[in-house]
Amino acid sequence: MRDLKELMRPAAAVLEPYDPAFAAVEVNLSSNENSFGVPPAVCDAMAHALAQTAANRYPDPLAPALRAELAAWHGIDPERIIVGNGGDEIIFNLFLAFGADGAKVVNCPPTFSIYRLYAELLGCAVADVPRDPKTFAIDEEALLAEAADARITVITTPNNPTGTLAPLALIERLCAATEGLVLVDEAYLEFADSPSSLALLGTLPNLVVLRTLSKAFAFAGGRIGYALAAPEIIDTFAAVRQPYSVNVFSQAAAAVAVRERAAYEGILRSIIEGRSWLAGELAKIEGVRVWPSSANFLLVRLPDAHSIWERLRDEHSILVRDFSQTPGLGDCLRITVGTPRENERVAVAIAELLGKDLP
Ligand code: PMP
């Protein structure tokens, strides 16, 4: 047999397995999950739905019950929705259907690393339009120019890992300025005081909006994401996707979560309040810079971030995400907003590690 790497698709041969840097800790604030979990009443309703779900039959590929719940929530025709195995699958399938063979994909780093990873794996050429190094705002004119001949342009709002919003007016201008598609990734929109670009779907034929149940709905383990777009674009997703990628249990439980969405309102409020509280506490510590965030996490810069990250894990059993090696994010950590107790633990630990007690 030839060398495995030589047998592989060259774009795959250079990759290492994705490592989310999981560690067994008491406080996990590393992956922007929802620490509160699914509300108990919703859990009971999910358990009931799961008990009635037959595992011997293949799932309906288009997840009709879940799609109907999502359509009712967003006030959008179900034909404009496709469900995937997490938002990640939606991103992958978008590049699979529209990318490939040197097609240009534009994104605005620092941002979610999966865009570049999947785009390159599928043979696209990624063009970066870097954000302002201090505010992380998008360079709008540079983006409009770069996107003109792009196949896919990605805008993340709120952006991961910076928490920055993109103005709706920019999305409108972008959709008009590009010959390709615009993916607006709204994975964290439920935490933002900002309107969704979904309202623009009827007027912008090249807009694709991505949402997920992983964050606000505390359903990261269930792996449900979805795209909203013109029916013709949704049809292309349906054509390229693995038909059974979203299993019956996840479909059934997610439909319950969306139907019972009012039960999550208190949790969302707590996370938003926790974000203000944590940002305020961290900003009091000398040497710590906190960026404003519209998501369920905070980006912070502090002295010797990598060693603080290690010591949080090893001495305080707290895991956050280390971005200190990412271009533009030197000495930065990303901290998910957790429960009040978790927020307090991470604030106290950082203050202690930087040699100061919180006032
Ligand atoms: N988009 C962004 C910006 C994210 O941060 C994430 C999760 N980290 C996703 C999409 C995908 O989330 P999931 O696959 O869990 O739906």
pLDDT in tens, 285-310: 999 999 999 999 999 999 999 999 99
Q: Is 108:327 a contact under the CB 8 Å cutoff?
A: no
Query: For residue 128, what pLDDT band results from cuts at 50, 70 and 90?
Result: very high
CATH superfamily of 4-37+264-353: Aspartate Aminotransferase, domain 1 (3.90.1150.10)
Q: What is the pLDDT of residue 19?
A: 77
> What is the rounded average pLDDT of the residues 74-103?
96
Using CA atoms, how far apart are residues 54 and 92, in angstroms rounded to an integer?
Answer: 29
| Residue 179 CB neighbours (<10 A) | 10
135-169: pLDDT as tens digits: 999 999 999 999 999 999 999 999 999 999 999 99
Look up residue 28 and give its DSSP letter.
E
- Ligand 1 centroid to residue 148 C-alpha, Å: 26
> What is the distance in angstroms between the CA of the first residue and the CA of the last residue of the chain?
65
7-16, 112-121, 227-236 — which is least confidently predicted?
A: 7-16
Q: 318: which residues sit within 8 A by CB, 6+ positions away? A: 25, 26, 27, 29, 312, 345, 346, 349
Output the pLDDT for position 120.
94
Could you read off the pLDDT of 309-343 as tens digits, one per residue?
Answer: 999 999 999 999 999 999 999 999 999 999 999 99
| φ, ψ of residue 239 in degrees (nearest 5) | -75, -40
CATH class of domain segment(s) 41-262:
alpha beta
Residue type, 111: T
Residue nearest to atom 12 of ligand 1 (CA): 87
Distance 282 CA to ligand 1 centre (A): 25
Contact 32/295 with Cβ under 8 angstroms?
yes
Pairing of strands 207-212, 224-228: antiparallel
Q: Is pLDDT at 193 greater than 70 in this prediction?
A: yes
Give the pairing of strands 181-185 and 125-128.
Answer: unpaired
Ligand 1 atom closest to 214 (CA): 15
Rounded to whole angstroms, the Cα distance separating 326 from 323 reads 5
Structure tokens at 329: 């994010």
| Average pLDDT over every residue of 209-224 | 98
Q: Give the atom of ligand 1 at the shortest distance from the alpha carbon of 111.
A: 3
Average pLDDT for 11-32 = 88
Task: Work out the average pLDDT over 13-25.
Answer: 83
- Tell me which residues have their CB closer than 6 angstroms to ligand 1: 32, 86-88, 112, 156, 160, 185, 187, 212, 214, 220, 225
243 pLDDT exceeds 60?
yes
- What's the rounded mean pLDDT across residues 63-83? 98
CA distances from residue 352 to 87, 167, 312, 339, 345 in whole angstroms, order as listed: 37, 38, 10, 20, 10
The pTM of this model reads 0.96
Confidence of residue 356 (pLDDT cuts 50, 70, 90): low
Q: Domains of the chain: which residue ranges?
A: 4-37+264-353, 41-262
Tracing tokens 């999550």 back to the chain, one arrives at 264
Find where tokens 């050429």 sit: 125
